[in-house]
Amino acid sequence: MSEPDREQQGIEAKARDEDAASDDDDDDDDAASPFDHPAFLPVLLWGLAGWFGYDGWINQDPDMLEHVAFNRWGFGILVVLGAYFTIQSVREMREDREKG
């Protein structure tokens, strides 16, 4: 076997070892950013649902009245998505808590 082949095999083996070590470390790390938290998406969806609901039913600004149907439909869709992802988030946090 030539010298470049041995060197290439050594580099490949080293890369495989580093990948295996980094995969093991990922499970032990806490959330790297707020975007990784299970409650991020539900909070975002509920906030947007509140905004759409305000514009759809409470706001009496004449410029916004032409968009009432859009805001009401958006509110309904976001409430359904918010409820679904809130349930999923609570389940995920309970599973994490039970695992310890």
Question: Looking at residues 34-52, what average pLDDT do you find?
Answer: 93
Distances (CA, A) of 81 to 12, 38, 42, 45, 76: 45, 14, 8, 7, 9
Q: Is the pLDDT of residue 34 over 90?
A: no
Alpha helices in the chain (DSSP H): 3-26, 40-53, 68-99
pLDDT value for 25: 52
The tokens describing 62, both together, are: 């004449």
* Domain identity same for 93 and 62: yes
Mean predicted confidence (pLDDT) in 41-66 = 94
Contacts for 3-12 with beta carbons within 8 Å, 24 or more apart? none
Which domain range does residue 5 map to?
Answer: 1-30
Residue range 54-68, pLDDT digits in tens: 999 999 999 888 999
Higher-pLDDT residue of 51, 30: 51
Domains in the chain, number: 2
CA separation (Å) from 92 to 26, 52, 96, 99?
Answer: 17, 27, 6, 11
50 and 83 housed in the same domain: yes
Mean pLDDT, the chain, integer: 86
